[in-house]
Structure 1
Amino acid sequence: MSAPGNKIVTRFKRHWQLKLWIEVIMYALGLTIFTYFVFQIILFSVVVFVVAAGIMALIIKPYALNLQKVSTYIDQHLHDAEYSTGLLLIPEENLSDIAKLQQHKIITELNARLKTLKPPGHSIRGVVVMGLFVVIGFVISQFDLMRPSQKIQQSNMPSEQIVFVPTDSTQVKTKPPKVESQHVTIQYPKYTNTPSFQTSEMNIKVLEGSELSWHIKFDSAIESVTMESMGNHYPMQPVDSAYVSTSKAKSTGFYNFKFINSDGASYVSQLYSIEVIKDQIPIVEVKDIKQFTSFSFKDSKNLAFNASITDDFGVASAYIIATVSKGSGESVKFREEKLNFDTGVVVGGKRQNLSKTINLDQMKMEPGDELYFYIEVLDQKRPKPNKSRSETFFAVVKDTVSDQFAVEGTMGVDLMPDYFRSQRQLIIDTEKLLKDKPKLLSQEFKFKSNELGFDQKVLRIKYAEFMGDESEFGPAQQESEGTHEEGEQHDSEDPLAEYTHKHDTENEHNLVAEEGEGGEKEDPLHEYLHNHDDPEESTLFTQSLKSKLRQALNQMWDSELYLRLYQPEKSLTYQYKALKLIQEIKNSARIYVHRIGFDPPPIKENKRLTGKIKKVKNFRKEEELAQPALYPFIRQATLRLEQLVANKQILSESDRNLFEQARNELAIKAIEAPGKYLKTLQQLKQITEIKEIPSSTLIEVQKELFAVLPEANPNPIKKEKVASEINELLLKELEIHD
């Protein structure tokens, strides 16, 4: 029978073991993540995890923990245990009465106090070590610090050795030397932070601006070694029993080696390619923002967005170019600012996520101002960095105050008064009055409403002047002025009669015939005449503008009425309608003329209006543009190869020069696709260097050169043909019987 306190100690032991196993896993997991960042191989990372976990388990030994060790630890670190935890491991029947009492006491104390005792372990240290491994591995992966070592490891792999063939087999008297060692040292530009590395592969692909150094060592002494590239010859310098040549990678091309043996025989290698890659420009992607954003004056004017920037060798700087435009027309002003991102740019980082929040108020933007901005990024390329920029984004603060009116299309001079710009201001003041109504006394509210009604009246009268009205109320008002006493009596009866709009009495819009006019005969030509004596017709506007302006005046009448009646909320509807009509008038009055043609040269003042055209001559130029022939030497080479194959002729010096020119033309085309034409270039090189060329090689080269030539465009021409007498008789017979 087990001891009654055995479960307490066992539970503490399991907690202790779990803590130790977590520490083991943390160490192994950190090393595994580091391995994956460096080598990018999942299977290898799994193997590292298993091995690291096994080694750490042997070191920490969580499996070796036993109950005796646990009880000893509890006695040493828990005072209430009274060094009696060992009694919990002994069965109760094997204890004396005093020991049993002590055992029950310890069980009670441990149940209450054992939770406060933490088992030993270094789990926090395990988390810290794992974090360090993860950070170091991420940095190595981000900046490709292990790439050079990998390249060196790959470059040490066996590759195809350079093979030389004699240019003239008859001159070979001794055994030609062989290449003992070969390699190319590549030094990337300093801004890439990439150490130099070596490769034994002669077909190389490097970054533009890299330093290249070829190193070739022969097993016996030779006279001289030359490197040939794109028609140029570069002697290789002897250094420590080897031959070295250095160059800077500027453009894609081809090269080969040539050496002269001590007996005077020359040997040439096959062609190898140098593919130069460009340093790519940074890529900028702007997220979380629209192309065009507009804000009202009361809005929170913040532009928040994120930018994702990537570059192949790291970013040097990134910033925002913002331009604020103020004003319009000839008075527009621009202010350009350079803004930094809220998150700092990591110099040399290949992938960066930046964020920015632009506050338009801090940019000192007012209603009507516009903001244009874009992101500009520079990489670390030297001496001239690559620069890229994002698309342009726009932001504008809406202008709800100014309302300019113009009639450029119908008036030679802008005669519009300042009052034409105040209808929108009336709307703003009316809305403000309604908003402040709970704070105002009744008398103050009515006073302000009446004042707005007066402003509306002044605006209406100014518009009416452009309609040709000579008085406030038109002809009806003039008639009413003849009876002054009736007017006074009317005023005494209705104090608002002066401000109301009564269509049935004043007949403002001539909708109802006046008394005494019913018997008059209507003029059928009245609608088609423009009577300047009639104030309704004497206007500066066309008929369409006139009718819209009349409608606007009607809306102003009703707006003024409700303002006088202390009901501004009803007046707003008519004010908005009047503003809409005014906007339509403004837009319809504009005329846009697209300027075309050319500006003739200025005429001298003493020659104007003289009528003399003796020295005036027309200029006429005739030119025939002929497209140059493509690949002329390749065309000639194909014809010459046909003759050589058919007649089995020997290559002459002029033939070799022709094939040399054809090879240069093909090399220019091969830059776009080096692998496609490399074999043909090598064969042309053999034709120009080696004297004995088999016919099969000539036929294969001719076939490849034909494939390079573009298809000829059809060129139909009319040819003269001699007609025989029999054909003419036949044509006549056909015409007779047709």
Structure 2
Amino acid sequence: MTDHAHQLLRRAARRWRGGSLWPYFWLATVVAGTSAIGITQLQWPGWILFACLTAIALALLLDRNWRLSTTEICRKLDGRFPVLQDSSQLLNNPPDTLGSLAQVQRQRTAAALQQLRDNSALKNFRPPWHRNAVANAIGASFGLMVFVIANTLPQSDAPGQMPGAQAAAAAASIEVVEAVTEIRPPAYTGLPALTQSLQVKAPEQSRITWRITLNTPAGALTMLAARENFAFSPKETLPSRHWQLTRTLPEADFYQLSVHSGQEEILLPQIHNIEIDADRAPEFSFSLPRDNVTTINAGSEASSLLQVDVEVTDDFQVAETDLLITLASGDGENVRFRNDRIKLEPTDTAEGAKRYHFNMPVKRYQIEPGDELYWFLQARDNREPEPNPQKSQHFIIRWPQAEIFGLSDAEGMAIKVLPEYFRSQRQLIIDTEALLAEREQLSEGDFRKRSESLAHEQNLLRMRYGHFLGEEDSALEHDDESGPHHEAHGESVDAHGEEQEDHGDHEDHGNHGDHGDDHEAPAQQFGDASGVIAAAGHSHDTSEHATLFDPQTKELLRSALNAMWSSWRELSVIDPRASLPHQHTALRYIKEVQQASRIYLQRVGFEPPALDQNRRLSGERDGVKPPRVNTTRSDSEREQLLKLLQRVRADDPLDDGTAEELLSLPQLREQPQLRVELSKSLRLYRQQADCTDCRRQLSALLYQLLPAPQAQPSLPRERATTGSFDNWLQEQGGGRE
């Protein structure tokens, strides 16, 4: 029992001493972790960890709680737990040295201490953690860290800017002792390697190697380009003075050098340009042909007109040149196209130039009058990995047809065709045959209605082709001509032809009068428009005066119109079967007219018939909701640039997002050189806060990017309510009545 009581006292003492050391252990762990992160990530000095641990060790030495004797610990037990009855010291004495009464009290104290241990009351037997020594250690460590953080923060307010005096002093302490830039142009250029300094000018796709020597060793060297950063490779063990970097540059760029010395990053202020000479595409110089359009007539010498003499030049070398030909044959909707590519062989070769002299290979095609041949050259240089293709100007070779109309310059006539729902002669034949096939299934009324409809469309088609013979008026004249005139036309095809020939001399549709006779014209009645036409019109509506066709073509077209009149007559009397031969005759004459002439008809859009008014606004509108209109208005590109220009002129700092948004403007994609200059000015403006020249240069570039203002609608000027000329006249006594 005696040994067990002494062990209980020793355990209580160990708990007290361990509780005294526990705050120092946790504080040292936190300080060590924070210092390690600060040293590796935040560029804190290395002495911060040693200083903090020294402060903790000093506080630990000054703290007596973990060095108390057993007697003092017994006093702490008696003061903390009254159940021990101030008898803890008896547990520290051997039982042989105690009297019988003291032994009994010792046994009671040991039992009470055992009960405290079983109830976990001894877990809190330790000194308070916020005692003076621990608080002093925490305060000293925190103060050291605040001091280090305050000294390592940048002094400038704007992000991306280095401290002015500190950066200047650091940059002045590091210099580039030697800089050699080796440029190796691409192999296809044939240019030798050359050496330059930090300012680089090289051909496109050159392999550039920078070799830089610093005056002091550095831990790292970085090239800060316009869009990304590139790390130099050391040529010796770190820290090194000699660095090397190799890049392949497809476009212009600029860069700065950033040196890592110890825990500091020093940005050298000089900005160096990289100018790239782009590989230009080949160029063409034609000696022959001298004109873009060549016309080969029947009696001309074709061989002299088909010669081509051209020189193709390039800044390095012309790889190959092809001849691309497109032959257009046929007319109307039957035009056929044939494409060919022919590789040309040079007749003379020089450095960066090739000359080609050849005749157009027209004999390999079956060329007919009316055909056209379009051709151009396509050259490629020896650029790698992809060549630069370039097309020459286009040329046209024409073989004109024999003139049919006696017009030397006219290739045709453009007229507006009728809407889509007017049938052609071929469609009328198909519809008439369909009507005859359905005769047994149709009632008499339906059969009559469809026949009259075909007659009406046959009449419209006849008037359409009648325009080519000068029949200018259609509906007005034929409305005035009643049944007797139509019956006269219906006697026979020959009679209609004779009447048509005498149309301009005798009848002129019954209203125009005779331009060649001395007969007195009938009196004009009110509302009769035919007299106005006869008085103000001219004689181009007479078929004999129409100069569009030659006499043979006029006769063919007149025969087609006669056949159409005969077809209309038979359809009007509800005899479709008798109208079919006349329709086929009209179609045959129309095809002959088309073969004899080339008439280009202008295509027009579909003109639907008028909508039935009873059906308007009769649809279902359930579930139909009006579209949502976004009333929010975002600033235009010009307004955004103007706001940014005001910020620059006010010397406001620009963040990374604003710089990236500015460099992504659409107009900069087509101007890479301007984008490089703008990126360089932005970097200088953000790095040097007090640079007036940088601010002025950036403002000039932003002003250059401003798009032209859009024209805004304006209200008309209001007339002055006073001081008018009328008021002045009234004051003078001569106002208007």
Establish whether TM, by shorter chain, passes 0.5.
Answer: no
| TM-score w.r.t. length of structure 1 | 0.43
| TM-score w.r.t. length of structure 2 | 0.43
